[in-house]
């Protein structure tokens, strides 16, 4: 158990950050799945910049690795172009 006020505060802040990161990561994963399931090129092209922005934001905050974000963006772009 923590012995200092700062350690207690760190525990609280870590938990709130963990919940926020988990929410943002799950939201981005669901958006990627939704984009992959689309068959209409117009809809997919409209959704692609939103998903790319989500992935970039996650990579910037180190929630996911920058190379993983790049790989996901590349794959999504290829899929949208192939529709």
**Domain limits, the chain:** 12-82
Buried b (16+ CB within 10 A) or exposed e, 49-65: eebbebbeebbeeebbe
Q: Which residues of the chain have pLDDT under 70?
A: none
pLDDT digits (tens, 9 = 90+) for 22-43: 999 999 999 999 999 999 999 9
Query: What pLDDT is attached to residue 75?
Result: 94
> H-type helices in 1-83, by residue range?
5-37, 41-60, 66-82
Query: What pLDDT is attached to residue 23?
Result: 96
Query: What pLDDT is attached to residue 46?
Result: 93
Query: What pLDDT is attached to residue 14?
Result: 96
Q: Model pTM greater than 0.75?
A: yes
CATH superfamily, with its number, for domain 12-82: Ribosomal protein S20 (1.20.58.110)
């Amino acid at each position: 158990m923590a012995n200092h006020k700062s350690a207690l505060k760190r525990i609280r802040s870590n938990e709130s950050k963990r919940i926020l990161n988990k929410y943002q990561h799950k939201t981005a994963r669901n958006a990627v799945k939704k984009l992959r399931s689309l068959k209409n090129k117009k809809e997919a092209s409209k959704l692609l910049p939103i998903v790319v922005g989500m992935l970039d934001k996650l990579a910037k905050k180190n929630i996911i690795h920058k190379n993983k974000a790049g790989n996901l963006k590349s794959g999504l772009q290829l899929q949208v172009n192939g529709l």
